[in-house]
Amino acid sequence: MRKKVTKAIFPVAGLGTRFLPATKSVPKEIMTLVDRPLIQYAIDEARAAGIKEFIFVTSRGKGALEDYFDHAPTLEQELRKKGKDQLLEVLKDTNMDSGAIAYIRQHKALGLGHAVWCARRLIGNEPFAVILPDDVIAAETPCLQQMVEAYSETGGNMVAAMEVPPEKASSYGVLDVQKENGQIVEVAGMVEKPPAGEAPSNLAVIGRYILSPNVLRSLNKMKTGAGGEIQLTDAIAQAIGGDEGVYGYRFRGQRFDCGSKSGFLQATVSFGLAREELRSDLLDYIRDVVQMDQAAE
């Protein structure tokens, strides 16, 4: 019987330099979309997919991230005293049970593959998920939940995939597709950040993965790849053609690259418009801005 995916790795060791000076003292993963930090969206998605153990690969200066998941007795007491039960319920989603969360330090910035490898002892011999909090995905059924359901049919290794404009393919890991079966594609190859015009397709890998522990064993032997870093896609590619295989999953939903300022702003607008209590005021403001811009032309 295929093992369930109950562990997830969250690589959060990056410095977030594209968001300086904000990230000088605040971890990027704590920056908020509307009223929830990026990491909360990732945690909620993982919970919906059945994840029970949460492994964070961190670095120096991420203390605020760790504090975020602690209980806040003084705050909870004040809210309780003031009868703010709704806010107390909101806080419940930010609390993690003792033993459910673990923190591993990545002491050198050697790439995503190295960050995942750092958590190898906590994964053991089980399949596991990897979630990159920079990739926020708005979907009716959370992306990782979609993947877990597809993985129950395929096993092996699975990466989230979406079509990107050909001219942007060089910014992603790109799939060489062998066979398509609806949402699932069988992968014949993977290329990390291919040179312009040389991508095997425009189907790009997005920051959600379900991986076999064999990928960790491949990472044990990995050398640096594109950008001088240890690339996770290189290790996954080692499984292509083997017994487990590699699959791409065309998820249903909209992905926002919150590792970039423009992507973060787009996500803020989109998630704000999705909130019933904010939608009317926000739409009025957007209309006013558009009208003023058109008048200026």
Quick one: pLDDT band at residue 221, thresholds 50, 70, 90?
confident
Domains of the chain plus CATH, in order, are 7-259 (3.90.550.10)
Residue-level pLDDT at 268 = 95
Specify the range with the lowest mean pLDDT, choosing from 80-89, 129-138, 199-208, 253-262: 80-89
Q: Is the pLDDT of residue 226 over 60?
A: no
pLDDT digits 0-9 by tens, 268-296: 999 999 999 999 999 999 998 988 877 87
Please say if the pLDDT value at position 208 is more than 90.
yes
Least confident segment among 8-17, 225-234, 265-274: 225-234
Question: Average of pLDDT values for 228-253?
Answer: 85
58 CB-near residues (< 8 Å, 6+ apart): 12, 13, 65, 66, 103, 104, 105, 106
Find tokens 């990897």 and name the residue.
130
Query: What is the average pLDDT score of the chain?
Result: 87
In contact, 46 and 40? CB cutoff 8 Å:
no
Strands 184-192 and 203-211: unpaired
Q: Does 195 score more than 90 pLDDT? A: no
